[in-house]
């Protein structure tokens, strides 16, 4: 999931805003950002290896995906896809 969200915002560097697909990518970005933050661990601010299974035995808070999600959220903010105050 981390690789996907990073690639999603990275392609915006190559799409002109006037292209019809640009708005679709922004829409997907907004939906994913809203979903991802629902699963962020409140205590540490990181995410679990299996995103929606925080109670699952053996699941753990994972640094790489947390970095990827942070990159995604920051770049989405910088691209004006999501609101800085919310994220």
The domain locations on the chain are 2-78
Tell me what pLDDT residue 20 has.
Answer: 85
- Measuring CA to CA, which residue among 37, 56, 55 is closest to residue 47? 37
pTM: 0.91
Which phi and psi (to 5°) does residue 48 adopt?
-80, 155
Question: Is pLDDT above 90 for 54?
Answer: no
Cα–Cα distance measured from residue 45 to residue 79, given in angstroms and rounded to the nearest whole number? 22
What share of the chain has pLDDT > 90, as a percent? 91
Q: How large is the average pLDDT for residues 21-37?
A: 96
- What confidence score (pLDDT) does residue 11 get? 96
Spatial distance between the Cα atoms of 87 and 60, rounded to a whole number of angstroms: 23
Name the band, by pLDDT with cuts 50, 70 and 90, for residue 71: very high
Is a pLDDT exceeding 90 seen at residue 24? yes
DSSP-based three-state secondary structure for 33: helix
């Amino acid at each position: 999931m981390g690789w996907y969200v990073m690639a999603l915002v990275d392609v915006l560097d190559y799409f002109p805003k006037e292209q019809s697909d640009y708005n679709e990518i922004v829409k997907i970005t907004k939906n994913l950002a809203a979903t991802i933050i629902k699963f962020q661990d409140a205590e540490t601010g990181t995410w679990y290896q299996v995103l929606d299974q925080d109670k699952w035995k053996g699941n753990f808070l994972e640094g790489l995906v947390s970095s990827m999600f942070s990159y995604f959220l920051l770049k989405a903010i910088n691209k004006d896809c999501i609101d800085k105050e919310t994220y």
